[in-house]
Homo-oligomer: A and B are copies of this chain.
Amino acid sequence: MRVKLIVAYDGTNYCGWQIQPNAVTVESVLNEALKGLLKENIRVIGASRTDSGVHALGNVAVFDTDTRIPAEKISYALNAVLPEDIRVQKSEQVEDDFHPRHCDTVKTYEYRILNREFALPTKRYDSIHCYRHLDLEKMRAAAAVLTGTHDFKSFCCVNTQTETTVRTIYSLEVLRQDEMIIIRVRGNGFLYNMVRIIAGTLMEVGTGHKTPAQIEEALLRKDRSLAGATAPARGLTLVGIEYV
C-alpha cells in the first residue's frame, strides 16, 4: 500500500529535507526510522524539499510498504523511534498513484519576525528578531502588489532553473500577534527562496528602506537585484499543503 505522512519538524539541526551525502536531512532520518520499524528498504517521496534550517508543521511524504501495520497506526510507531525534532502528525493510506509533487496543491508558509527592542532567547528557533519599527500598513500595501499571478523572476534565486517563473499567490497577509509579526502566504507553488525573498522585501518596506511602488517596479522589471534580501531560513515554516 501507499502511505501518506504529514510531517512536522524543527529544521534547526537538519540540512533541509532532501537526502544528500554526508549530511543529516529530514528525509534520511525518516527513511532510517521507517526501515527500522517496517524492516523494509523504504524511500519516502517528499512534497516540499525545504531548505536547511526551515521548519514544517505539515510537510507531506509518501512511501510504499508491504507492512500489515494499519496505515493510521504508523504515525504512533514512527514517533516512538524518531528524534524529538521530527513528529509525524498523521499517517493514512492513499491511492497507489498518488504522488505528492505531481498534483495541484496550495501551499501555506509563515515567516515569523519578533519585533521588539531585544531578542527573546526562547523565541529564537522559529523566528528572526528585528528591533526596527515595522510599518505594517506599508508592508500590507506591498503585499497587495505581490498577490495574484505574476512572473516572480525578481523574487527567486538568480540561478533558479525552472520552465517558468510565473506563480500565483492566493493571499499574502501581514499579521501581528503581540510582538510577533507573521507573514502568511498561500500559493500554488513557490520558486527557490521565493518566500524568504518576499519576507526580506516586505521587511525592507516595513522599515522604510523600500516603498510599495518600488516593489511593483521590482516585479515588472524581472531583476532579482531590485527585490530585498533573502530573509534567514530559521524564520520560515511550511504550515501545510492542501491537495486540490
Contacts and interface: CB of A to CB of B under 8 A. Distances in A.
A120 B120 CA distance: 20
Contacts of A85: 121, 124
A125 B8 CA distance: 15
Interface in A8-63: 8-10, 55, 57
A164 interface: no
A161 B119 CA distance: 37
A9 B125 CA distance: 13
Interface residues of A, number: 23
Contacts of A237: 122
Interface in A194-236: none
The interface centre, meaning the residue of A79, A86, A120, A237 with most chain B CB atoms within 10 A of its CB, is: A120
Contacts of A193: none
A87 B10 contact: no
Copies of this protein, total: 2
Nearest to A124: B84
Nearest to A237: B122
A87 B55 contact: no
Interface string A116-137: 0111111011100000000000
A234 to B, nearest CB: 10
A147 interface: no
A104 B120 CA distance: 27
A105 interface: no
A121 B9 contact: yes
Nearest to A177: B177
Contacts of A75: 118
B84 A119 contact: yes
A120 B84 contact: no
B10 A118 contact: no
Interface of A: 8-10, 55, 57, 75, 79, 84-89, 117-122, 124-126, 237
16 contacts: A8-B118, A8-B121, A55-B122, A57-B120, A57-B122, A75-B118, A79-B118, A79-B119, A84-B119, A84-B124, A86-B121, A87-B118, A88-B118, A122-B125, A122-B126, A125-B125
